Amino acid sequence: MAEVLNVKPRKSRGKREARRMRLGGAIPAILYGHGEANQSLAVGADEMALVVRRGGRVVDLKGAVNEKALIRDLQWDIYGTHVLHVDFARVSEHERIEVKVAVELRGQAVGVKDGGVVEHFVHEIEIECEALSIPDKLDLNINDLKVGDSLTAADVSLPAGVTLISDPEAVLVHCVEPRDEEEGVAAGGGAEPEVIGRKAGEEEAEE
């Protein structure tokens, strides 16, 4: 069941108006898609924050418009704590859409027991699915991952009706041997900070 968001029409635009809205507990938003005109809206900041915390992706907009929409994009403040603007895209119940979903690692790689290190450097992949069937996350089992092995987007478990859009050969995670150079830096790190510190002091003196 989609989350409900109450929205109001937004007639004024611009940074000053957006700032005034946020001070009043609302967030500027825009609704677009399906070949219809864009609509400027305002949504309650508390309502929006609750939907985001719950991981909501598709919502039922009520009030100024009564439509089902996908939360296509969120603009955050510089601290990543407050939503400043929301992009809604119109969707129908069984419409198939392309969306990015987080990949979560499951299990413990066998390579770790052999001294390997697991590196997870791609944290989401793009899929296609029905608008009301967007998974909260996708699981990637790493139990059989050995030192020198890697897992790709094709190894992610996809629910029924979900199609992979990302490159299936894209490497998401691998298990590698610990880097010797890191140990070398740690072992010889005693003298280097003193050099850096002297340079910093000299620069401050020059300023």
Residue type at 39? Answer: Q
Judge contact between 76 and 84, C-beta under 8 A: yes
Contact (CB, 8 A) for 17 and 42: no
For all residues of the chain together, what is the average pLDDT? Answer: 87
124 within 8 A of 101, measured Cβ to Cβ: yes
pLDDT digits (tens, 9 = 90+) for 121-132: 999 999 999 998
Sheet with strand 163-164: strands edge to edge? 138-141, 96-106, 124-130, 163-164
The H helix count followed by the E strand count for the chain is 5, 13
Question: CA-to-CA distance for 70 and 93, rounded, in angstroms?
Answer: 11
**Which pLDDT band holds residue 98 (cuts at 50, 70, 90)?**
very high
- DSSP structural state of residue 154: G
What number is the average pLDDT over the span 99-103? 94
pTM for this prediction: 0.73
- State pLDDT tens for residues 5-34: 999 999 877 788 888 888 999 999 999 999
Give the distance, in angstroms, between the CA of residue 142 and the centroid of all CA atoms in the same chain: 22
Is 70 exceeded by the pLDDT of residue 185?
A: no
Residue linked to tokens 């955050």: 76
Smallest CA-to-CA distance from 130 within 174, 97, 102 is with 97
Domains of the chain with CATH codes: 3-91 (2.40.240.10), 98-176 (2.170.120.20)
How many Å is the Cα radius of gyration of the chain?
24
